[in-house]
Structure 1
Amino acid sequence: MYFEDRVDAGRRLAELLLEHGYSGENTLVMGLPRGGVPVAYEVASALGTPLDVWVVRKVGAPGFQELGLGAVAEGGIAYLNRELMEEVGATEEEVRDTVRRKSAEVNERVARYRQGAPAPALEGKVVILVDDGIATGGTFRAAIQALRLRHPGRIVLAVPVAASQALAELRPLVDDAVCVFPTPALYAIGQWYSDFHQVPDDDVVDLLEQARLNLRPRWPGPPIEPAHV
């Protein structure tokens, strides 16, 4: 195993981003829920930058949901791999139904994670988009397409581990890509972690709140009146 858990992966990814010169200035770290958020939290903490999420849901193949045919992202963007759909025999109707269901899930999770707050302003900012790994890259494609509509200054893809081919296909879509371990053979992201347990929604909400508290100014209290003797 290359990473103990997502915390370890996030800290090692943060070290690499710092080596590449990234910092908190005009920067926002965005995690892909749910597994990308613990990684993104460590990155945001190390860089001293705000943390937010960009919600994406994978569109799985009928009968084999782990195989991603594409993804639906916050902002109404859907990416579908037509070649893979044809290869597994997925019909347009089947996939359309899945996209509709996943779009509803995206909206539900946006409301849950942001607690009614609006999406962050991205115009002109450096957006570091983080997940716990990349296998096929469908979720990143959908997220990148949606983020481009918000006119960020730069989009930086950042992951602990990624399939080399998927990473090469994604590089032209972003301004920079930072990966601790690109590998030609990646069958399952979890194989690169000793602990790869599922991240509950409550943990995502807690990490986002903790990140906000960490960046909240600690104003000094009222002045202490001198004691009269």
Structure 2
Amino acid sequence: MFENRQEAGEALSQKLLKFKGIKGAVVLAIPRGGVVIGKVISNALRVPLGVVYAKKIPAPGQPELAAGARIVRTKKFGKTPEVKGKSVILVDDGIATGETVKAAIKYLRKKKAKKIILAMPVAPKDTLKSLKRLVDEVIVLETPVYFGAVGEFYRDFPQVSDKEVLQCLYETD
């Protein structure tokens, strides 16, 4: 269990140190919670931070469960950085079904990212199996067999506002 997203980001950063200062690397976070973790990782690795906005398509009657996802072009959080030929560290605060990150991965492949590293604090084992085939590397801290929701693995898991996302993006080193 993680205290909060900051702590989870610090723990993930330790697993990603081999990418520290690598030219052509970028951290792309999935808003909103992923941006808090992405900021910590971006600062630790000294690589740029951006967002890839993949919007969840909720399952009927279950708004927290993703039935699918799609990439949304929005300027709300700034333009997604150029990824062609770059090593992309794709970050979220946790993965349940994997639909949101699948949409992001598909987008990054289409934009010709050289390498995609998927990094998150927690994801269920069965979801990880399908995601591992889509990326070059997966970094995950916890893979519980029984998984209800991402928030169950954090003591403090508040909603992240648009204002907080923008602060994270502007406060990266």
Deviations 1:17-54 (A, max 9, x none): 12xx2223121001000010001110111101000000
2:12 and 2:146 map into 1 onto residues whose CA distance is 20
Structure 1 position 186, deviation (Å): 1.2
**Structure 1 runs of 4+ with >6 Å offset:** none
Alpha-carbon RMSD: 1.0
Corresponding residue number in structure 2 for 1:14: 13
* Percent of paired sites with the same residue: 41
| Counterpart pick for 2:100 among 139, 163, 185 | 139
Corresponding residue number in structure 2 for 1:31: 29
Structure 1 position 58, deviation (Å): 0.6
The question of 1:122 aligning with 2:83 is answered: yes
Structure 1 position 62, deviation (Å): 2.1
Residue 19 of structure 2 aligns to a residue whose secondary structure is: coil
Gaps of 5+ in 1: 74-105, 215-229
2:47 and 2:149 map into 1 onto residues whose CA distance is 30
1:4 and 1:196 map into 2 onto residues whose CA distance is 8
Write the letter of the residue equivalent to 1:72: R
| Within-5 A mapping of 1:1-229 | 2-18=1-17, 21-25=18-22, 26-73=24-71, 106-107=72-73, 110-114=74-78, 118-211=79-172, 214=173
Write the letter of the residue equivalent to 1:6: R
Which of structures 1 and 2 has the bigger CA Rg? 1
Gaps of 5+ in 2: none
Structure 1 position 121, deviation (Å): 1.4
> TM-score, normalised to structure 1's length?
0.73
Write the letter of the residue equivalent to 1:56: A
Structure 1 position 119, deviation (Å): 3.0
Write the letter of the residue equivalent to 1:12: A
Q: Report how many residues are paired.
A: 172
The structure with the largest helix share of the pair is 1
